[in-house]
Structure 1
Amino acid sequence: MIMSATKLLPLHHPDSLREPVRRVPRPANRRGLRDFDTVLRDEWSIDPESCRPLRHGQNLVFTARDREGNSVIVRATSPSHRSLRQLEAELDWVAWLDLVGVPVGIPIETRLGKLAVSVHDEGELFHVSCFHRIDGTIVSNESSERWTDDFIRLWGRMIGRVHRWTERYQPTGQSRYHWHEQPEWRLREKHHDLYHPGVLERIDELVARLKRTPRGRSYQVIHADAFTSNFLMRDDDLILFDFDQSMYCWRLYDLLVAFQMQYVFSYFIRPELNRFSVEEFWRLLLDGYREAAELDREELQLAESLLRLRQAVCYLVSKPEARKWAIIAGTSESAYLGAMRQVEESLLSDQPLLPVDLAEL
């Protein structure tokens, strides 16, 4: 995949995280869309030569600098992943959260007041958006001293603040999709032969069951990916970013994503959490959440189903591109595929994903 400011190998290639190769920008194409370099310069006053790869997942993310030397984040999204209107819906919500004082990664408008622009480069279409760069610290296993009771509560409180303020949010344009409309569901048709047929049947049963579940007042747009890779700590507060997975779902799902990435998705279980039992982590997360928002006991009864929903989405996204995700995770493809087999087993089993009842806790 090549963008005019930055030459990138396909994301599954081991060399895709190396330093970019520069070349001369391409002229405008016959579709009338400008190229990547031109859009960065004209719409955000960003120097294309300053772009450096930052992270690769379902989007291409770069660091860059604008004309005044400010550090910014540039995100390029394939239309096969998100439509321009869905991207605008995401950024509309994020801009509103910033307006009401929730600490988030703030999108930058273009000179014409847009939040995203389509570009055409090297025969491919992308949607580009930009954000102010956040100063802060990633809380990882390299900073295990930060994993305290107060940090887990703060994590829950951050999610609760987002939910509480979102109760008042009214989209200015198109709304984000609902959980069962995620573009990720299309992967099962595209890569059908790569998935375990029994797992797909169990996922279908789960989706049908959740579709019959009453939505209730806790059903709203949520972040849907609020784990440690998507927030930074600054001045004893957490700043949430990467709302790419945001969707309409039950609020409990956000808490379960935090939980799943720490205790359920086998490859990403965090060694720094060994001091926290499953019960202790969940109680601390809920305690923090309830300092900012309400969570009904009735909604907690959905915990196992929503945990399985998250596990299913991770499976559909990760299995076809295990090599790419293994590189991102810093492990071998065989080790990552081993984790995928464990995910398959968990989705095929009738046993709860965890040996404890989160609803009872």
Structure 2
Amino acid sequence: MELNVANVFSEDLLQKGCKLYYGSTETLKKLGDFENYIYEVKVEGESRILRFVHSSHRSHELIEAEVEWVEYLYKNGASVYRHFVSANGCLIEPLEAADGTVFYVSSFEKLPGRQIAWKEVEKNLKIAYSWGKSLGLLNRLSKTYNNVKCFRPQWDEEELFDIEQYKPDITKHILNYRDEILLQISTLPKNSDTYGLIHSDLHHGNFLYDQGRIHIFDFDDSAYHWFASDIAMPLYYIVMQRDFTTKETRQEFIHAFITSFLEGYSTENILPEKLAESIPLFLKLRDVVLLSVLYKKFDFEKLDDHDRLFFNTVKDRVDRKETIVTFDKEVIKNIR
């Protein structure tokens, strides 16, 4: 969490937010603080999630649009969470911090299951199939979603594209590379079968696996984007996680994962047009965006060995204009 946000997130705010959603304050358990403050809390013995989003990260309107989107998915059969109303009957509660900024508080269901790692996916490709199937359902439901009250951002409104604001002396080479990628993406077909409201970050850390089912959370990055981008993200992060442990039989794993994932996806939604050509573009874009995130979040004077390796791996790939994954495009054609 950025220092300016951490400095104004107080125990008093935490307690107030907890009580607004009927939580038992002594049961609060911190789960995360990378982009937002996430807590688990008990309400009459039931575990729920409590989230605090700072106004510098998301506006009330963007959070409202996220809540509406997730509620739509929940009501239409997707394995996502339902939201709870506060003591004031609200889905989102604003709490003012000492400096006049605001934390927006919401509460939602704690989903069943556990997080998985690449080794489990490699041993059990049914997980990749279910993962793809769940994403396919989200993308299909996006085609019939039409909320005229509030909107999530369009793909090109992503502030992390402006890497210069986090690294003012970033090289011209990287800026040109970013611009090349954005230009190529802007020419992709944009219609109801290729483009819509997507999750944007469905890596293996943003779902729980339970009895063969994928339960999805963290819609904080949801935006209007190409469905191919949603498909690229799981591939990007599962391969990255595996690479930190081993690169043996790497291509075999990539082939098996893509095949199973897309087979599952295609049971719920048609594969987007020009998918084989667009996945590499979105993998490259994720590298640029992730590099921007790391410049924004990391204190480079205090990096441990893992974080330094993480940063150097992403930075080197961007410098070389390489893609994290290469794959046989015939895999996609065969699934079609």
Calculate the TM-score normalised by the size of structure 2: 0.85
- Cα deviation, 1:289-347, whole Å, max 9, x if unaligned, reads 101110144233211111111221111112332359xx9xxxx6343233323322322
Distance in 1 (CA, whole Å) between partners of 2:246 and 2:219 is 22
Unaligned runs of 5+ residues in structure 2 are: none
Matched, 1:126 2:103: yes
| 2:231–2:279 CA contact under 8 A, matched in 1 | no
Partner of 1:53: 30
In structure 2, what is the Cα distance between the partners aligned to 1:237 and 1:270? Answer: 27
Greater displacement, 214-223 / 336-345: 336-345
Q: Per-residue deviation at 1:159?
A: 0.5
- For residue 224 of structure 1, give the secondary structure of its aligned residue in structure 2: coil
Aligned partner of 1:290 in structure 2 is 266
Structure 2 counterpart of 1:53, one-letter code:
K
> Counterpart of 2:32 in 1: which secondary structure?
strand
* Corresponding position of 1:277: 253
Aligned position for 2:65: 89
Match of 1:37 in 2: 15
Inter-CA distance 252–36: structure 2 relative to 1 (3 Å threshold) = same
Structure 2 CA distance for partners of 1:47 and 1:309, relative to 1, 3 Å: same
Greater shift in the superposed pair: 175-184 or 294-303: 294-303
- Deviation, structure 1 residue 268: 5.7
**1:36/1:53 CA distance change after superposition, 3 Å:** closer
Structure 1 counterpart of 2:159: 183
Distance 1:235 1:241, change over 3 A: same
1:209 corresponds to 2:187 = no
* Corresponding letter in the other structure for 2:41: A
Q: Output the amino acid matched with 1:211.
A: S
Which position in structure 1 is the counterpart of 2:116? 139
Q: Which amino acid aligns with 1:343?
A: V
Which deviates further from its counterpart, 99-108 or 270-279?
270-279
In 1, Cα distance between equivalents of 2:52 and 2:91: 13
| Distance in 2 between residues matched to 1:269 and 1:249, nearest whole Å | 31
What letter corresponds to residue 344 of structure 1 in structure 2?
K
The alpha-carbon deviation at position 273 of structure 1 amounts to 8.9
Contact between 2:38 and 2:49, CA under 8 Å: does it hold in 1? Answer: yes
Say whether residues 1:338 and 2:309 are aligned partners.
yes
Aligned residues: percent identity?
Answer: 21
- 1:62 is matched with 39
CA 1:106–1:274 in 2, change beyond 3 Å: closer, same or farther?
Answer: farther
Give 2:55's aligned amino acid: P
Instruction: Give, as a single letter, the amino acid of the residue that structure 2 aligns with 1:37.
Output: Q
Q: Which runs of 5+ in 1 are unaligned?
A: 3-7, 12-19, 26-34
Answering whether residue 84 of structure 2 is matched by residue 108 of structure 1, we say yes
Output the amino acid matched with 2:28: C
Distance 1:211 1:74 in 2: 37
Are the structure 2 counterparts of residues 76 and 158 from structure 1 closer, same or farther at C-alpha, using a change threshold of 3 Å?
Answer: same
Give the 3 Å change call, closer, same or farther, for CA 199–146 of structure 1 in structure 2: closer
Shift, 1:154, TM fit: 0.9
The answer to whether the 8 A contact 2:112-2:215 is kept is no
Residue 279 of structure 1: how far off its partner (Å)? 1.5
Which residue matches 1:255?
Answer: 231
User: How far apart are 1:234 and its partner, in Å?
Assistant: 1.7
Tell me if the contact between 2:207 and 2:215 (Cα under 8 Å) persists in the aligned partners: yes
Aligned pair count?
328
- Deviation, 1:48, is 3.3
Residue 347, structure 1, aligned to residue 314, structure 2: no
